[in-house]
Every structure is written in structure tokens, then in C-alpha cells.
Amino acid sequence: MVEKSELPLPAAFLERMSRLLGDEFPSFLQSYAQPPAIGLRVNTLKISPEAYQHLSPFALSPIPWCPSGFLVSGEAQPGKHPHHAAGLYYIQEPSAMAAAEALAPMPGERVLDLAAAPGGKSTHLAALMNDEGLLIANEIHPKRVWELVSNLERWGVQNAIVLQETPERLAEHFGAGFDRVMLDAPCSGEGMFRRSETARREWTPALPKSCAIRQERLLESAARLLRPGGSLVYATCTFAPEENEAVLDRFLASHQELELVSLEWKPGFAAGRADWAAAVTGYPLRAELARCVRLWPHLSCGEGHFVALLRKKDGETQIGHSKLPRQAIPDEVRKQLRDFYAQNLHSAPPEGRLLLIGSDLYQLPQATPDLRGLRLIRLGLQLGTVKKNRFEPAHALALAMRTTDALRSLNLLPNSPELYHYLRGEQLPSHFREQGWVLVSVQGFALGWGKSSQGILKNLYPRGLRWLAPSK
């Protein structure tokens, strides 16, 4: 008889896991009586992990498979701290940090995150790339894609392009031109049962098989987008062998140009289970599936996750389209941009790779390809909006800056009443003699813009991000 968990886990799920895990099942089940771990990943584009450990108001302990990842001890709520609003860290489930570390992109490469929302893996990839090269973050769902944009902006990413496209269209458009591809595939979500009531409620015994069909289709597109010598990570947050080892075995059988690569072993990792998948499929599977990694809630500090690294051995490189043609920026727009920089910033304005879409001005990544015909959501760094006779900087520009970049900055402490007034969208007194834009920050890290005029600092913190908690 299968033991019961304190969580209302599906009976069919428990029966299957008991059969697969055998003697390990009691400790697996016991893990569901424990609260899920809180993890955060430090934004290395803004601060080193070592420096943030000294700055952090939370007690942190390292995550073995992610040098920038930490467990948050106690009852801390890192999502409600101003450091989160400044993009100093991303709150991420610890096991999910293993995927981007496995892909290990390098600065200057062309990288694609095929199913990117809400942005955990995209922000991780951007940090590993040191914001150099090209990161295309794609999300097909129209609501989730804006959550992706928000997270990339808070992270201060400048080299990312956000698209809302089907993987099939991306493969047709770009061809085999990416150095690395991340496929965090939609799945049955079994690994998130401890965190998600929705995942528990929507699960059925048939769900893993239906998910596997979609996952194989996504892998087909991912393989088409990968250049020879390139790397592909296939990741899920499910325990089901139908969605993990069985999917990969069928995929590799029809793709001789791809091979499984062993991952660097870390504490908390467990090997892939070809024997479990064989029990599902009814035929033996390739032994190298043991090179995949499984993460378990009873063996590690995170939830259930599966990670596989594949490398493309041969084929043809196809950069599907040439670079985006240059756009002539009106002289008046360039003048407004130069005036804004001269009056408010220490640095010179960017002159190249500018693109004006409507009234919004963007600075494109260096390796921007031709994107015509694709659904574009965000192109590199949004510099700001062109108004009549003036230029208004974007929130994204503030979060991509350091306070030393601004002629006027207001640096606040995390426990100051002024900081919470600002995050609530309220006006502050201004001590600046001259009028102009002010970069508001917490402990030296940018939060957003204000505008000083006649002793008042007008609050330009975006309405959709404003805090609802009482001022302190």
C-alpha cells in the first residue's frame, strides 16, 4: 500500500513513483512534508556573488551546481526587498539553475532560449554571456512574454531580443545558426508538485504521454536551429520517464548528428534512468542516457528537474538571413538623444545600431540578424521615447546603468522611508539645484528615474511595478 503525503498528491502518481523508486520512496515522500527551498541567483552583470553575500540582508548558503546561486535561510521574503527591484538577484527554484549552467554559453556567442518565459533561464544565460553576443529569448504565449520582458529589463540585459514566435517559424527563418540552444520544455510539472497546487490539480496519468508528443516536436525545431559543434540543453521539471529519457531516446534514434554529453557531476545530481523508460516503452533504451541528470527533492536542495546536454556533430551552418539593414534615424531624434545625454549623463550617446519603432528608440545588439516577418516584442535595450521637443529615458535604460553614469543620482538605504515612498510612486523632496533627470538607487544600484524640478522629485517609477505595501 502506498503511503500518503501531507500534500494531496495524485494517487496514480504516488503508485508509479513507489514502483520506480522502491526503497527510496519513503524518503521521497517525506520530502513533501518539508517546505520548498527559496533560492536566489545573483546578477553577476551588476555584482559578484561574493560581494552580494556581504551586502545581503538574508542568510545565504551556496547551491552546489550554480556558483551564483544561493539558498535563502529562514522566513525571508526576497521578492519584497528593494534589492529585487534593483535586479540584484532573480528568485529561482534551485534545481532550475542547473540547466543554464549545463549549457554554459560564452560571451560573444549566438544563443537561443526557445521557450523562455518567465525569464529565469534567459537572465541566467545573459549573465553567463556577460551580456555580450546575441541572446534571442522566445515565448509564444502573449501574456507570459511580457513577464519575460520585465525580468530581462530588471536584469539590465542589453544583448537580448525578445520574440513571440513558434519554434517552427524560427527554424525556417534562422536555420542552423545558433551556437547554443536552450529548450526548457513545457511538461506535466510533476517536479513542481510541492510548490504548485495547479500542477497537482491538472495532472492526469495521461498527461506525460501527451506532453511527450509536444516535446519531441520542440526538439525537432531546436535541432534545426543548432549549428555543427553547437550545444543543446533539453530540460524539464517532471519525473516522468515518458517525457525525459524516452523522448531523448526516440529523438536520438532519428538524429545521428546529435550525441549526449556527460555533465560535470555535482553534489545532489543523480543519473538518468534508461531502465525506467524501458519499462514504459517496452524496449531497451541506449545506455548513454545515464549521462543525463535528474534532481530530486529528497536528494538535493531543490525540486524535481531533468537536464540533458546534446552536441551537434555534423551538418551545415545556415545563418538564415543577413544582418538587419541600417535605419536612418532622423537628425532631430539624434539631437534629442545627444541633448539628454549631455544634460543628464556622463557618457556619450550611442551613435550606431539605433532603431526607431514608432516613438520608441532602441539600441540593437551587435549581431542583430534580419528579423523581418517575425513577431518582435523587444529589440535590445530600449533607450527611451521620442516626444515633441524632448527625449524621455526608458525604465530599461535606468536598470542597465550604474549610478556613476548619471550627473544626478539619489542613493537611498533599504530601510529609509524615502525608498518606500519612491517604490510606491510617491513624490519626494529634491535637493538638486538644477532641473533634470535623477537616477534613483538603493545602496548604489539603480531602481529607476525621477525628475527634479522646483524642489520636488517627480516620481517616474513605472505604475505596473509600484509597491502596494505601506510606506515605512
Q: What is the largest CA-CA distance in the chain?
A: 77
327 CB-contact burial (10 Å; exposed 0-12 / middle 13-18 / buried 19+): exposed
Catalytic residue among 66, 187, 211, 237: 237
Cα–Cα dist 97/256, whole Å = 29
Cα–Cα dist 78/90, whole Å = 9
Share of the chain residues as helix, strand and coil, in percent rounded to the nearest 5? 35, 25, 40
Cβ contacts of residue 328 below 8 Å, gap of 6+?
Answer: none
Instruction: Yes or no: say if 296 and 270 are a contact pair by the CB < 8 Å rule.
Output: yes
Cβ contacts of residue 327 below 8 Å, gap of 6+?
Answer: 354, 355, 356
Which whole-number Å values give the CA distances from 30 to 3, 23, 27, 34, in the listed order? Answer: 10, 13, 5, 7
Cα–Cα dist 148/150, whole Å = 5
Task: Return the residue matching grid coordinates 517604490.
Answer: 423
What single letter denotes the amino acid at residue 147? E
What single letter denotes the amino acid at residue 183? L
Helical H segments across 400-440, by residue range:
417-423
Q: Is 237 labeled as catalytic in the residue annotation?
A: yes
Q: How many CB atoms lie within 10 A of CB 365?
A: 23
Cβ contacts of residue 426 below 8 Å, gap of 6+?
Answer: 459, 471
Q: Considering only CA atoms, which of 190, 191, 194 is closest in space to residue 37?
A: 194
Cα–Cα dist 287/239, whole Å = 19
Q: Which residues participate in catalysis according to the annotation?
A: 237
